[in-house]
Structure formats: structure tokens, C-alpha cells
A and B are shown apart, each in its own frame.
Chain A
Amino acid sequence: MYVAVKGGETAIANAHQLLADRRRGNRELPAIAIEQIVEQLALSVDRVMAEASLYDRSLAALAVKQSRGDLIEAIFLLRAYRTTLPRFGTSEPIDTARMQIERRVSATYKDLPGGQLLGPTFDYTHRLLDPDLLHDTPVEAPAGRTDADEPVMRVSEILAGEGLIEADGELPADHVAGDLTREPMEFPMTRDLRLQALARGDEGFLLALGYSTQRGYGRTHPFVGEIRIGLVDIELDVPELGFAVSLGEILVTECQMVNQFKGSAKASPQFTRGYGLVFGQSERKAMSMSLVDRALRTQEFGEDVVAPAQDEEFVISHCDNVQATGFVEHLKLPHYVDFQAELDLVRRMRAKHAQPHDHQEAAE
């Protein structure tokens, strides 16, 4: 006999216990330490910090551990923590010209003031599995640089000297940077909010959209003006003190994409820019972001919106992986009440459909 199902609570508790067991894995192996994740899976930690919009290596590493290495789950964990944190102020804009540079490359110049600096990159490695890593093989100390503290001018400044590239743009003096985690989104968005959405947007989604612009869906003729990775100071203006104090430094990746613009009736031909800035080291994300940022500025330049990457509502509404995964995965929640309604409808429609062929015994 059928008995109405009970036991959801026990089932959930048991499932969580099993999850904890699977997360820990074989007990004979030592548990992975947070410090190990911070040090040795640094790029996972970076991605989690970037897309959770919270710069905290230890918490991000904890999230990676807790999520069994599922980075979107880790991003979700960290965001759910972030949302409970109080806001005690807004930092001064970071100055990437004063970045302590670890990597800096430009594709538009062979050489330039400050030089090309490869830094810790996978580029030019041969993707051969390295059997040495099966063991804890000693690693040599890297070569350092002596001139590390000198400011390095940005490529956009080189082009700006000739007026060849659009300027940074002006904001009204009373402009307060938006915060899409505290205010409801509205379309069309201002660029600060759009960049914020892209900065925490899904790396894979932005990568695919950026890629689509390269394959003809909203072409932007991009060149990597510059990518730079390094530490920047975070400063907070403290009203009681009357000056800005440094809160510490964070690692960021900045990409300035330089794009062709043929000019319009109003504006002379000039290079335009797409901008990407991401917590930690993630060139793929910063580059994708700058491609998509430029694509989303289509209307600003009087160009036609013809491709998905140029469509602000489409891109911004769907770039958040925590939202996306939640809504996609919610389909596994019970929907049997609605399904019942559909069953009923389909049965009725089938019955009616059968009628013309079978006048005598109409179904039902």
C-alpha cells in the first residue's frame, strides 16, 4: 500500500554525511591543508576570489577544499559569506601604473618603456606531462629583477600622446561607483556596473563570447595593447585622518585591448579600448573580459548590435555562473505538481486529437 513519503530530513542528513565522507576521501592519505591549496593551486584560488568578488586567499582555499575542487561551488560558498560582510568604505581607485609588475606583455609594440616581462606564464611551455611532479622534486629559486620598483607606463599612455586612442573618459565629479551586489540591476547599465558584472562573470562564458567576436559575431579587430599582472596598493581615504591609508596590496591582472574604430560622423578615426581587470592571475579572464567590454560598447560608437556579445541584456543577465548554475540545477527539484498539470493537458489534447478518426467512442 502506498504511504505518503516521509523522511526528507533523514535523507538530507545522510546525504550530507556521505558528501563529507567523499570529500575527505581515503583516510590513510593526509588531509590537504589550506596553505597547500593557497600555495599550490593558486590559480584555482584566484578564480574563486575573482568570481566571488572577495579577495581573501585563505577563505577561497577553504571554499575550494569544501567544494571538493568544484570551483563554481567554491565561488558560491565564498559569495554567500561575502554577502554578510559589512561595508565600511570604498577604496580609492587602484593605480595600475604603480603596480609592482610580475608580468607585462604588449602585442602592439616590439619593445616599449618598461620592457616586455614574461613572468610566471604557461605560454611557451610544451604541454608535456611532467613525471617529475609525481614526486616532490626540488625546484630552483627563480631569477629576480633589480629595477622592480620603478613605475611602468601603460601602453594606452603611449598611444594617447598622439591622440590615436580614446581617453579614459570622464565621470561626473559626484559619480559614485555602483555596486551591483547592493543595488538592483537596471538596463541599460553604466559602464562601471557593466565592468563589475563582467569582473565577477563566469570565465568560460566570457571566454566563449570573446571568442565569438573573433570569429565574426561582432568583430572588434582587437590587439592586446597590454596585459599586466602584479601587486597594487589598496588605499582607503579615512575622513578622520584627512588622507588615504594603505590597507594592503592585492594581485590583479589588467588587460587593455586596443580596437580599431573607423570613426563616425561625430568622431574621427581612433583606436578604442576594451578593459579587463580581474583579481589574481588570470589572463584568460582579463582578455575575454576586455573583448566583451569592447563589444558591449557597440552602441556607444554608433555601431549596430548584431551579435550576442554586443547585447548588454543578454551578456550581463547570463554571465553570472552562481545564478546560472542555481537556476539550471533547480530543474532537479521536484516539479511534479506542474508536471501533473501538463500530463492532464496532454492527455486531454491526445483524446481530442483521436476524436476525428474515431467518432463513435470519444475518449474520456
Chain B
Amino acid sequence: MTALADYNFAYLDEQTKRMIRRAILKAIAIPGYQVPFASREMPMPYGWGTGGVQVTASILGPHDVLKVIDQGADDTTNAVSIRAFFQKVANVAVTTKTSEATIIQTRHRIPEETLGVNQVLVYQVPIPEPLRFLEPRETETRQMHALEEYGLMHVKLYEDIARHGRIATTYAYPVKVAGRYVMDPSPTPKFDNPKMNQSAALQLFGAGREKRIYAVPPYTDVVSLDFEDHPFEVQTFEKPCALCGARHVYLDEVVLDDKGGRMFVCSDTDFCETRREEGHRGEMLGDIKEAAE
């Protein structure tokens, strides 16, 4: 730590943390509303989690236990890098176990394990504005939110159905929070959307480049947008995880060879490992003879 003696605990100075905490409090008070904040330049690039890092840095205390995941995995390079950053500048305990963590910073996934009241999930958000690709102007979209003018979004979803027979949004699937604001859940697969609803954990969203923070307080309604005759549904996988045999979890497709061989494994690495430790076996672990190749 001597080389970094000039940096405050968790990198950000206390005034900046206070500013961010105020934005977080406001975000919690108005669920789903995007609060502008004076995002700082962080020592990692924009688009790589600067918003999430600033939120985490502002809420992190010396007794917290931090978990960082990217694509559901603790060992993807950016997750490793962000975890190492907080170990270096805050010297906090880190873990890969979802249940042990008090703060989980994530990119693109929500852990499979149900989160509890003592946990905070911090999302890294690239484009916080759910209406951005329908209306590029911030001045317009802010007004649309203010007037609760979400017709455009419903038209977009309807056009999907008219054109493709289904809603062709598979990730960053828009949700309505506490019956008021339409919110971007960050680019998590829509598979994870139901986990946001009535979650016991506090969910914080940080967008550094776009300078926005928003939040879903614990036990808040989060409803994925849909139509009565085209209800929202999540992705389903035909097979269970090839390593731990889990069903009803999100799976990664792993290409095994150049002959079309592929397998499906849990995207949540901690969940998968825990299940294997508990003795669950998927077909690729060799215990089931007929599945072995």
C-alpha cells in the first residue's frame, strides 16, 4: 500500500463519495429514476465499469466482503481486474461465494442464488437510458420520463411482434419499476429480469460515462414490459448444465471442437462450483456413462 499512500480508502476522496452517496440516496428514494451525478475519471476505461466502480467505492466499508463478476463468472479478466483494484485501494476481503459477499459488483448477470437483505448488488451500466435507441436525445428522453410517456417503447415491442412473431429483445429488456419509471436493467439477459422483482437486496446501477445512477430499493416491484397476449417469458435451455446438472439456470454455450460439438454450462461459476461440491454431477463430468464421449 505504500506506493498508493496518496490515495484515499477505496480510491475516491471523501467529498466525491459524499456526492455519489447523495445521488444514490436520491436514486433509492425515486426507484428507477436516473439521477445525474458528477462521474469522476477513474483509472480504468469508460465502458469497463467505471460507474459500478464508483458506486462500489462510495458504499464500500472496511468490513465489507466484495464479490465481482462479469458474465456471471468471477474469473473473467475484467472481474479479476476490478476485484484486484479494490483489494489494492481498499484492502477489503474479497470472495467468489455469492452468499458470503455483502457487495456484489456485476456486469451482465444476476447471481442464480437468491440474494438477501444484507447484500447490495451493484450493476455496471453502459447506456442507462432505456429509450436511447428510440430517441437519441437526452433532452427528449428526460421529458418522456417526466411525462411517463412510454408509448414509443410499447410501439417498439409491438413492432417486434408484428415483424418476428415475438419480442426480439433478449437482453437489456426494459422493466417498469414501482409502477412508474421504465428502466434499463443493464445488459443482463432477460432471463435475469424476474430476479430483480421484490428482491431483498438493494440494487444499485452506475453508469460512469453517461453520468447516471439509479436504484431499485429492496422489495420493489420490477415488471418486465409485455402484452397480455404476448406475456414476458425468459429463455429456456433444453439441457441442464453439463457440469453440475442444474436446470432453470442461465447457461453458456461452450464450443468443444470444429465439428459442431458444444456443451452448455452454468454462466454463474460460483453457483456451479457450489453444486458440484454438494455432489451434483452433470453429464460431462464422466459419472454418467452413456453421456461420456
Contact = CB atoms under 8 A, between A and B. Distances in A.
A82 interface: yes
B158 interface: no
A89 interface: no
Contact of B109 (A8, A325, A333, A337): A337
Contacts of A181: 38, 40-41
Nearest to A312: B139
Interface of chain A, main secondary structure:
helix
Contacts of A82: 41
Nearest to B264: A340
Contact of A345 (B80, B170, B252): B170
B209 A327 contact: yes
B191 A341 contact: yes
Nearest to A349: B164
Contacts of A342: 170-171
Contacts of B119: none
Contacts of B190: 341
Task: Sort chain A's interface into a size bin.
Answer: 35 or more
Nearest to B273: A4
Contact of B189 (A325, A329, A334, A338): A338
A229 interface: no
Interface string A309-348: 0000100010000110111111001111110111111001
Interface stretch (B45-53, B59-67, B194-202): B45-53
Interface residues on B, range: 35 or more
A185 interface: yes
A80 B43 CA distance: 5
Contacts of B171: 337-338, 341-342
B81 interface: yes
B41 A80 contact: yes
Contacts of B235: 341, 344
A7 B267 CA distance: 17
B5 interface: no
A352 interface: yes
A242 interface: no
B149 interface: no
Interface in A137-193: 181-188
A313 B209 contact: no
Contacts of A334: 70-71, 76-78
Interface of B: 6-7, 11, 13, 36-43, 45-48, 50, 70-73, 75-81, 84, 107-109, 126, 136-139, 164-166, 168, 170-172, 187-191, 209, 211, 235, 242-243, 250-254, 256, 263, 265, 267, 269, 272-273, 284-286
